[in-house]
Amino acid sequence: MSTVTDYSFFSAGKACFTVDNGRKHYTYIVQKHKSSDILFVRVFTGSDNTAYFTHYSYLGMFDPALGEIRITAKSRFGMTSAEFKACQWAITQVRDKKTLPDGWHIRHEGRCCKCGRKLTNPESIKAGIGPECAGKTKKVQALAFNTDNPLKQSSFDFQAFTGREVNYD
Q: By C-alpha distance, which of 67, 29, 35 is closest to 48?
A: 29
The HSE-up count of residue 128 (CA atoms within 13 Å, CB side) is 4
Identified binder of Zn ion from the candidate list 130, 131, 144, 166, rule CB under 5 A = 130
Q: Interface with Zn ion includes 166 (CB under 5 A)?
A: no
Pick 14 or 114: Cβ nearer Zn ion: 114
Q: Interface with Zn ion includes 133 (CB under 5 A)?
A: yes
Pick 86 or 112: Cβ nearer Zn ion: 112
| d(C-alpha 18, C-alpha 33), whole Å | 21
- Per-residue interface string for the shown chain with Zn ion, residues 78-117, x marking contact by CB under 5 A: ----------------------------------x-xx--
In sequence order, what are the beta bridge partners of 3? Answer: 107
Between vectors from CA 169 to CA 26 and to CA 47, what angle results, nearest 5°?
A: 80
Residues that bind Zn ion (CB under 5 A): 112, 114-115, 130, 133
